[in-house]
Structure formats: C-alpha cells, structure tokens
Structure 1
Amino acid sequence: MDKVRTRFLGYRLYRIKFIKIVGFVFLITTIVFLGVLAFLFNTWMNDLRQQAQDVFMERERRLANIRVWALDYTNGMYEDAKLMEDAAALFSARNMEEYIQARRNNSLNSRQQIGYLPGNIKKLLFWDSRKQITGVSLSSHAGVKAIWQELGDVRLQFGITDVESSMAFHEAGDMLVASYPVRNTEHMDQTLGKLSFWADSREIYECGAVPAQWALWDAQGRVLRDGGLAQEGGRFLSQLAEKEGQSGWLFPGEGMPVFFILQVSGESGYSFLVFKDVGAVLADNKHTVSVIVFAFVLVAMGVLACYYGGIRSDAAFLAMIMDMLSAMEGGNFARMQSLALPASARHRENEYGMIAAALKDVGMKLKGYIETEYILKLKEQESQMRALQHQINPHFLYNTLEMLRSKALVHEDRDMAEAIAMLGALYRARMRKKDTITLKEEFAFLEMYLKIMALRFGDNFVYQAELEEGIGEIPTVNFWLQPLAENFFAHGFGQESEYNLLTVNGYAREGGGEILIIDNGCGAAPSKLAGIRRNMREGNDQAEGDIGLRNVYMRLAYFYGDGFRMDVGNNAEGGFRVSIFIPGRVEDVHTDDRGR
C-alpha cells in the first residue's frame, strides 16, 4: 500500500467533494451578488432619473422666465416712440449704410434724441445676467440682422440668410428661446418683422448637479450640445430613436451598456438627454461595490472554511484508518496498536468509528495469531535441530577431527591441522552455547568461521571483524552473523578475483549498536534491490530460507522488537552492504522461546 497521505485533498473522494462545494458556493455567491448589484443599479438609476428630472424642470422654469423677460422687452418697445422709429429703420434696412441713412433722417426730423435699438438691447438684456439672453435677431422682408455682445461692445450684423444662421456667431447664442412679432405703431395691422431672442445652451442646461453626461438638440434635430454623444457611434442614436420610453438601457455594440433619460420641452421642443454607462456608474460607486464584494467574499470564505474544517476532520479520521491498514500490511502491529481513535463523539459513533474500531480489533487478533504461528514454527525448527544433534555422536566427531589433526601434524601440514582444530572448537562452542548469547560471543564465533575460510582460500581472501567496547554485552540470538558471511561466499566472492574483502564491524550508537557487513564483491543489480528488501521483510518462511537474509531478519526482529532496524544495499565504491541496528536493552524477552 502506498504511503498514507495526510492532506485530505490527496483523497479523490474528498477532492471531488470539495471541488463541487467550491463551485456551488461560487455559483450561489455570484448569483446573489449579481442580484444585489442589479438592485443597487436600479436604485442608482432611479436617483439619476430623479436628479435629471429636477434639473430639467428647473431649466424649464428658467426658460419660461427668459420668455417672460423677452415678451416684456418686446411690449416695452411700444412705449418708447423714438426706440420704435429706430426699430422700424433697422427692420427696413438691408445693410449698414441704409440703417445709418435712416437714423440720420430720423435725427433731422426730430428735435429729441433718437433711440438706438442695439444699445437699448445691450442695456436692458445683455447687461442683466439674470436674463441670460446672449443675442437678438431681427427678421423682415429686408433680411435678417443679428445683435450680440462681444468683449463688452454690442455688435450688429447684416446680410444673414435666415434666423438659424445667426447661430454662426458664437457670442449670439445657439438656442432660440422666443420669437415675437413687432408691429408698426402707426399702422397696427402692419408688422415690421419678428424679434427673436437667443441664449447659450451651455449656460442654460449646464447640469453639474447631475453626475452624468448630457446632450441637447432642437426640434429640427440639430445637436446643440454633444456631451460625448458622438463618441458612442451612430448605433447609439439609432437605438435612441427607436426607444419609446423616457428612460432605459441602450447597447451601442461597442463598449458598455448605457442608461439614458430623455426629456422633451413642451414649449420649445428641445430634447434634453442625460446618459451614463455602466463603467461610470461603477466608478462613482466603487467604494460601495468594494464593500459588497468584500462582504460576499468574506461570507463565501467563511462557508468554505466551515466546510473545510468538517471535511478535514473526516479526512483525518480516514487517514488514520489508512494508516492502520498500512501498518497491518507491513506487519508493524506495534505501530497500529499505538494509534488512538479520536475523542470526538461525532466520529466514534458514525461509520468511520465503527470501521476503525473493528479494524483495530482485527489487527490485534491478527498480530496474536502471527506471533503464535511464528513461535510454533521456531519451536518446530528447534525441535528438528535438537533431534539432529542427538542423532550425532559428539564424541565420535571430536575424536575423528582430533585424529585428522594428528595426521596433518605428522605430515607437517600445519594449515590443515589448524583448520581442523578451529572447526572442532567452533563445533564445540555452537553445541554448548544456548540460543541467547552476547554480541561479543557471536563475533568470536564469526571470527572462527572466517579464519577457516581464510585458510581455505589463502591470500585470495582477507577479512576484518572488530567490535567496539561498550556493546559487547548486548544480548543477541545465537548463529546469525555466520549466515550473513556465508551469503558473501555464495554471491559476492569472486573465484578469479585476486582480492576478496569482507569487513564486519560493530559500532556503539545512541541506544544500542550498529553492525556493518561490507564486501567488495559485485553487489546486487539495482533493479533487484527493491525485491531483495521486500523478500527480506515480507518473504515466505520456508525452511530453505533459514540461512538467508529473511531468516536473520525475522529472528532479530522478533528478538529485539520495534527498536531493531535492518537494511541492505550497494556501496558507492562497489560491493554489497548490510546495516543492522540492535537496541542496547531487550525488553519482554521470552526465555522459553530462546532456549534459556
């Protein structure tokens, strides 16, 4: 089983569930946010509509006042005979020369000072800023004249083709406010012409109180104030023409949607448009939108955090169950026993708690079963070994070895005699010793075996076996170093190699000792190392494996318990390496199972 993953997103079950809840929370939050934003937009647009209506009504009252002033001025002209004479001269003149000649004639025929209509208009209309009249045009059969003020002086222009052309003079104004006929005082049934009053649309409709763009056009469709309307494109104007209501949304095609309020003057026919796009609305209310976004994000994060806490708690419980399974699979029942179930009643009473409790109970029963089976197997092997020992007459073997040693000495073959002597000593030691010995004694037996192998192979084999002081009295099982050395002669020893080296060293470490068995053989293929380790820890318990790594690992693991570690691998310089750590103290030693 793979290593247990503690992060809950590592489990596909919880990962999919968490992704779904994140998507659901995001969807609901987005829908509610858009609903709130739509409500706020409706509120903001209602406020804008009300502001635009207030501004429009105030401008309508202002235009009505201007019309009243214009009418009062027109009626007041009839009270001044000299002014009417000058007005008649101006209406009938086609150019400045005719007007000057008419004024000269009026002056010769009158003993009083003659009137001057442009000056009177300047005094009574232009100089009074409340009236906001910026120009006056006179139209008659003799043509159109325009009167306006420029740099404090009154200007008079002849030769204008029509009344609307007077707008070409910027100071005269671009907005026709009112037009009244002027009659001949001597013949009231005759009309001298028409007197038209002009104003500047910017001064009239400038709506700084409305936070939006605005535009103005007259009844003939001439745009007086663009206000950025042309930038929206022709599609904007065409959509506006198709709209029947006074307000609504327009979609120009390029850019953001635009909200508009259109109001038409009932008397003058001027159209007043206020419009504002979505981007401008959001920019004006960015603080409100930011607070709402922050609030929704905070709520969404709170919901996800609550769900995250619950699902993480469940995942932690599942991770513990997976950890139990991993410990059972690796045979590490001590670790499984150390795992404690969470104290949360919510988990202990649900399916997770039932599974974990049952799994832990099964694991403990399995541990007891495996230990019982292993002890029975060891006892069976021990019985077989003792039965074999009883079948051999030790004295016969000792006498035979001594006879062979004597013959070797007679023939002066000292190496053979020494080998026979060490073999006899090794056999006597193994037969007399119990199953549990000290680490120092186990090293001594190993050195006897290595001396015999050195005599066998001569200069072709060199060994080193050293044990540091302080760990020699550590208890251990009998006969486990020699099988590891035999593995070297079986798999790592090179018959054709001139130099075969085997080192077995014991070092004192914190809490125990470390045994390193290193050779300079060919080592193991990298592709097979994982299999060697797996077979060492999880391989079968067949009898032919007693002298192998599996047998040594199982005997030491059972003897030392959790503190024991054993690993195998290749050296960087070449050869094979076995590393074993044994605890300095052995607790809960079953003396009956170890021959004491």
Structure 2
Amino acid sequence: MEKRRRSQLYFKLFWTYTAIALVIVSVLTIYFMYLSKRSVLRQNQEEREHISANAAEYIRETEERVDYLYQDLYRSSSELEDLLSYFTLDPEEYQQWSLDRYSASSALVYKGIYNFITEAFEAYQELEKVELIGYNDLRMTECYPDKIFYPGKSGKGKINAFRDGTYGEEGKLVYVREIRNPNTMAQEGCMVFTFEGKAVFEKIRRNSEYTGLFVNFQGQQPVFEENLQADTKYDSVKKETVGEYEVCTLLNQKAASRLSVSAFFTILGVGVLVMILGILLIAHDVGRFTARVDTILDTMNQVATGDLQARVDIRNRKDELDMLADHFNNMCEKLNLYINKSYLAEIEKKNAQMQALQSQINPHFLYNTLEAIRMKAICNGDREVGKMLYSMVTLFRSQLKETDIITLGQELDYCKQYLELFEYRYKGIFRSEVSCEPELLSVPIIKFVLQPVVENYFIHGIDRGREDNCVRIWAERNQGSLTLFVRDNGCGMTEAEIAEKNRLLRENPKDKDKKTSIGLSNVNRRIKAVYGEEYGISIEAAKPQGLLVKVTIKIEDKIEEMEVHEESHACGR
C-alpha cells in the first residue's frame, strides 16, 4: 500500500508538470510564430515605404532637373533669344537669322537652342526626348539624344492635350514649361521634357513580392502599374503626390505577414525539441524528489517504532526538503536530550535560583560590613575616615534601596558625596562646585547619570601635578529639556578624539564589552532608551583647557511615566 502511494505521487507530479510544460511550450511556440509574422510584416512594410520613397524621389529629381534646365535657359540670353526667334520666325527666316548671328559672333560654337538641348541630353541620361512647340504656327520639333532632331511636325495635338490635362504618357514622365518673352511677357511657345519612367520604376520595385506600385498623372492617366493583381484585396494603401504625379504603393498585409515554410517548421521543430527535453528533465527531477521524500518517510517510520537515533541524510541542496530533514533531525536530537536530561535540567534550574539569591545578599553584606567599619573608625576617633566611609555607605544605600527614578536634587547629593571622597583623597589639589536653581531640584531623572561622568574625569582627566584641579556641575532648563553641565580643567582631549567620541555617542552602538557598560556609553544608551534618540551626552572642549560634558534629558511631568520607560529599558537589557 505504501509503495503504491509513492508511485502515485511520482506519476501525479510527472503528469502535472508535463501538462504545465506542454502549455508553456505551446504558448511560447505560438507567441514566437506571432512575433515572426509581425517581423515579416514589418520588413515588408519597410520595403513598401522604401519603394514609395524611391519612386517619389525619382519623380522629384526629374522635376528638379526640368526646373534647373528651364532656369538655366533664362540665364543664357543667347540661347533664349535663339529659342524665341525659332518660335516667332518662319523656318527660312530663322535659318537666315541664325546664320547672320553666327557670322557676326567670334565664337567657334553657335550658342543656340539645339546646342542647349544637346548639352541637356549629355547631362541627364534619363532624359529621352525634348519637344519644342511654337504657339504662332503650332510647329513642333522633336529632339532626341545623339543630336537627332525632327523639325516641321504639327504640335496641334500636343497643345490640345495640354489644355485638356491629358498629356501624360504610359511609362514616361512628361513635364511642360512655357517660354515667355522677357521683354513683352508674351507666351511664345513651350518645351516638353520626357524622362524614362518604366525602367526606373521596375528597378525600384524589382525585389518586392508583396508590394504593388502604381504611378498616375494628375490622378487620371496611368503611367506605371506593376504587381497589381485583380483578385487580391489590398488593405494597406499609401499615396504620395509629387507635382502632377501621384505615387501609390499597395500591400496585402495578410499575405505580407505569411511565414515561409522553412521558418514555420523551424519554430515548430524547436518547440518540439524543447518539449522533449523538458519531459526528460521533469522525469529526472521528479524521480529525485520522490526518492528524497521516500527517505524522509522511511526515517520517520524508524522513529515511530522507537529508534530515536535514526537521522535523515541531508544532501546540502538547501531546499525545503533539506530544511524539513534538518528540522526533523533537530527535533529528534532535542527530544532525545529532553528525555535524557530533564532531571538534570531541573537541578540546574534550582542551582541558578540559589545563585540569584546569593547575588542579592552580597551587596547587602558589603554595605553592612562598611557600616561596621565606619562605626569602629568613629569610636577610634578617626572622623575623617568615618566621613569617607559614610559617603561610600550612602552611595551603596542609594544603589540598593532607592528606585531607578529619583529627583535632580537627590542625584546632585549623590554626586556631592562621591566628589567628597575624592576631595579627601586629593586634599589640597582638588575642589568641586555643585549648583542648581531651587525650582529644578524636584525634576525627576534616572539615577546615576552624573557619577560615571565624574568618574571618567578622575580616571582620564585629573592632573596630579597641579593644585587647581576643579570640577564644576550645574543645571539649566531649556523649554522641555534639562541640560546638566560637568566642566573640568583637566587634561582634556584633542579635537579628533572629541569628534570621534561624539560620533559614537550619536550613533549609540551596542557595546558587547561588559567592562565598558558603566561608562559614558552606558549612560548615553540609558538616556536614549528612556527619553528618546534626540537626547543623550555630548562633549566639547572647555576654555582654556579641559572638557565640558553636556547631559541632556527630557523633563517628564510625572515620575510614573519615567518609571515605565526605565522598566522597559531594564527589560531590554
């Protein structure tokens, strides 16, 4: 029954992941086919844009060339004068006029209209024909490259076509420019320029399978039409007008987005290959997964039968099964330790309770012993030692009996007693001053915030070689805060040391060294824990020498509120 369940887990996971992989690969295959079709369509659209731009650019270039020739003719007075004479004179009169004009000139080459046209054919290879038509007698001359001219033809048909707007020719680009006499502004005739169109447009559209190109004249006469199928519906048409010509490019987007057979089977083959590899990988991973699950189940069965030494082999893959195996092993170890050591743990608990009680008795014993020594010193007449012991006994009493929250007056009294001890020790070379306004004596504060600061002075700041060592303590109120000042004239600190110490006090790092917990950092942490991060201790250099330590706390309205803060801080410690 157990084996059948495990095989069911394997096949359930295998077919579930296989179905998911099949759906993902199918969706990706369809998506890649869609992207490929979009890419093919975009390429064909770009090719259509390229064809349209090239066709329009060729028409624009031919028109610009005609305009340049037309303007160049007017810049050449000799050739323009010859053309006007050609239009207004009879052929015999024009022949005689041109001979007389050539004889009178010193030029080797006669600068007439025929020479102008010959140079135009040489400059522009696409220019096929130029026609000259005079309005006076409708006489027309056809000019071709290689200095081939056919004069004496009738231009009546051309003139009628010009008036009707039907002078376009299939496969050609035709432009008409009228010639005016610059003196009288009378229209004397026209020049008709014919450029090659079909061969150029075929070359432009040559490699496009899906783009149709259509060029017409004035929207009526077709000039070029290629790759347009009557039974095909073109759903994308782009039109561009250049002068008197209109360029139309047509695209069947459905056909233009069709994938090639090779591309289709390539994407399909890759999808099938990925699916096969995915199934093999799923079978391998699911087999490894179910094998690890079987190992965990076997170990659980061993523990269930009473073998608490059984452990699951962890393979360091750091996945959920390894975490489960690790927790299971830890559970077995803790269960075994609990069973073996529950009695010893109870004994150790009682020993710890006894040690806690003993640690409370030790300070009381020291306090009582000091009190007995003080009384003995008084009985022996040594009152100075008695006063010193009294100050020390008072400090011990305040540490043992009073709460953590006291008034500022009490804190200053403890500090005075502590300073008196050192005045006895350094008699004649040390003195102290403690002052405070009466209205501030009742302000509640946490106890022992000044004694560590003063102690720090006696450790690091006092100069035993001098006789004017002094510590001055006073308090000032500033709105909602109270600042206690401790100023000395001792050895002091360098500016770098002061800056570093202030940085540590601001950042308030947790000091893991228990020996330093009674110093400035401990007081600073207690103040910040009770009053907030904006309060604490800061250090400045005193003038002319020594240090000025500022202890800033918040003024609380009620002692009960501070006791709550201090209790929370004590729990945190």
Using structure 1 for the length normalisation, give the TM-score: 0.39
Using structure 2 for the length normalisation, give the TM-score: 0.40
